[in-house]
Amino acid sequence: MKAIFEKRSENNPYTLLLLHGTGGDERDLLPIADMIDKEASVLSVRGNVLENGMPRFFRRLREGVFDEEDLVFRTKELNEFLDEAAKEHEFDRDKIIAVGYSNGANIAGSLLYHYKDALFGAALLHPMVPRRGIELPDLSGTPVFIGAGENDPICAPEETTELEKSLSQAGADVEVFWSTQGHQLTRDEIVNAATWYQKATKGE
């Protein structure tokens, strides 16, 4: 997978896994990483799937309808990539915190749904429910932030509520931030994600 890795501080054990939205690339969320933690290492990945020339992390049948078979395959592919990247770049595999937007949030959510120890935590920005009808792994104590828009035309509020319930029932410690906006990222959302991150990593 095409990715950027930056080691930022020897004293910070965390790595931010940046996962862009549809049509983005591995540089899109770098400014957000700076807003969340300037000293955490960064692993920013480009999706392996193209939809009309636009990078994505997995295929979809149409807007809002995922290709589940491809989602499962791409989730496994990403999880294995994280294993390899941790060895190659010598960062702590157990201290990866995903920051994903839209399609990137969905693949991050899918990692949580399928693999117990894939992520230390995740900031899911405008995610949908990745899969239904499966049993989630034990996510006890896993910190998860969900950023949602009350007027999001792509991720309806019901999706957020269902996702929160599903992750919470699996044991995750879920915090939801609602804005009155649509599907776009907002500064307030990132500021709240940064506050959540401080609590998740430093107990503040």
20 is catalytic: no
| Nearest Cα to Cα of residue 127 among 76, 84, 64, 70 | 64
Distance between alpha carbon 201 and the CA centroid of its chain, in Å?
16
Active-site residue identified among 20, 152, 166, 179: 152
Per-residue CA distances from 25 to 75, 158, 181 (Å): 18, 28, 23
126 is catalytic: no
Active-site residue identified among 102, 110, 166, 179: 102
Determine the Cα–Cα distance for residues 189 and 39; give it in Å rounded to an integer: 20
Determine the Cα–Cα distance for residues 54 and 148; give it in Å rounded to an integer: 23
83 is catalytic: no
What is the Rg, in whole angstroms, of the alpha carbon atoms belonging to the chain? 15
Q: Within 10 A of 112 (CB to CB), how many other CB atoms are there?
A: 26
Question: Could you give the residue numbers annotated as active site?
Answer: 102, 152, 183
